[in-house]
Structure 1
Amino acid sequence: MLIPIKGLLSSEEAEKCRQVLMQEAWNDGRQTAGHVAINVKTNLQLSRDSQVAQQIGDLILDRLGAHPQFMSAVLPAKVLPPLFNRYESGGAYGNHVDNALLTLPNSSIKLRSDVSTTVFFSEPEQYEGGELVIQHSYGEERVKLAAGDAIVYPANSLHRVEPVTEGIRLAAFFWSQSLVASSEQRQMLYELDQSIQTLIMDHPESESIASLTHLYHNLLRHWSQT
């Protein structure tokens, strides 16, 4: 299930973030790559210690925490602080899958990476290439969104970033552990919730709203892991 979150940040906010990020000191992205990914990863990343990264990361999480579509799709239990990457001069990240278990910074708490999120800070016309390509059961989805938009997708999917041949691609990325581990169950809950919300808007007096909401919460109660 791939879910675009449009306008998480305004274009003006995204541009301000991009300008600040461009002034930061970037590190070789291979420093954080696993033993397999290191062979296919050629990008730059910001250190978690960067105050700019922490400030913009907090902004992203605040916006997503108040975004009903994100909350419905992800059902987050734990969320890692966002990281930031930069692709230019042919930089790319070949096919890989995200690590299943991650550690929350400055702690020993483990997080299961159920859902990946990428937030774009460069407009599509500011760089050539750089599409996020996500493989799923129906083929491949190529994602290149406007600055300020985000894409949410299963962390267990094989994915890559195509080479950036011109310009600079800046983005944030992070992982969430969901209350519902199964991507199939999360998708069913998301579709049911979206149907309920549409029914509320179109037919607020419908008696079906209560029964469908009852079903939604009982499924969530049955499938959630707390």
Structure 2
Amino acid sequence: MILCIAQVLPPDLLEDVVRRLEDARFVDGARTAGWHARLVKANEQLSPADAAHADLIRRINAAIEGHQLFQIAARPKAVRPVMISRYTAGMEYGTHVDDAMMGGIRTDVSFTLFLGDPASYDGGELVMEGTGGEQAYKLDAGSMILYPSGALHRVEPVTRGARLAAVGWAQSLVRDPGKREILFDLDTARRAIFRQQGKTAEFDLISKSTANLMRLWAES
């Protein structure tokens, strides 16, 4: 399942993040890539030594982990601290798949949180590759896309301006992406019923099925 979530960062936090990144120190992004991804990765990442690093990462992670749609789509067991990346003219990230393990957690769900106004740069689309073809994504600032970590993807070359984004990974309580999608659909349906009709018998049955599927599929 690929899911786009609007306005993950509130406007005041987004504005503060972008402002503080203007004078921040960035380093070669290839340092954090695996041996094969390093061959196609040409970007920059916010330096851990930068004064703003710890605070920005903490606040961005808190906004992501606190978002309801992220919770019901990813079913996170553990979430890695995000990395803030920057692509300027000529930079790109060729086709790759994310490492299966990062920082001691299995990567099941990957996410890219766009920080810059899409009109401020050309290129830089996130392209997901699959058996049905390719799909390009370039979301509004503050919006985020979730996708399975095992999917091939790339970032198209930036030809003007700078592409800013926060990228991260989560280990899910439900390893299989197809099962996560079933749970997401059921949870979405039951929430819609509750908003429209309240706590009905139909809501109770879907809630029961959702909870029992979690019992069957969740890894403690």
Could you tell me the TM-score, scaled by structure 1's length? Answer: 0.93
Structure 1 partner of 2:165: 171
Answering whether residue 114 of structure 2 is matched by residue 120 of structure 1, we say: yes
Structure 1 partner of 2:10: 10
**In structure 2, which of residues 175, 178, 182 is the aligned counterpart of residue 181 of structure 1?**
175
Unaligned runs of 5+ in 2: none
Structure 1 partner of 2:211: 217
Contact conserved, 1:76 with 1:176, CA < 8 A, in 2?
yes
The residue matched to 1:186 in structure 2 has which SS?
helix
How many residues align structurally? 220
Structure 1 partner of 2:127: 133
CA distance in 2, matches of 1:14, 1:140: 29
> Considering only aligned residues, what root-mean-square deviation do their CA atoms show, in Å?
1.3
Answering whether residue 184 of structure 2 is matched by residue 190 of structure 1, we say: yes
CA distance in 2, matches of 1:78, 1:51: 26
Deviation at 1:67, TM superposition (A): 1.4
Contact conserved, 1:196 with 1:213, CA < 8 A, in 2?
yes
Structure 2 partner of 1:143: 137
Contact conserved, 1:15 with 1:147, CA < 8 A, in 2?
no
Deviation at 1:44, TM superposition (A): 0.6
Residue type of the alignment partner of 1:48: P
Deviation at 1:137, TM superposition (A): 4.0
Answering whether residue 148 of structure 2 is matched by residue 154 of structure 1, we say: yes
Structure 1 partner of 2:193: 199
- The alignment-based identity, stated in percent, is 37
Q: Quick check: 139-148 or 56-65, which moved more? A: 56-65
CA distance in 1, matches of 2:65, 2:25: 29
Deviation at 1:56, TM superposition (A): 1.7
Could you tell me the TM-score, scaled by structure 2's length? Answer: 0.95
Structure 1 partner of 2:30: 30
Contact conserved, 1:41 with 1:93, CA < 8 A, in 2?
yes
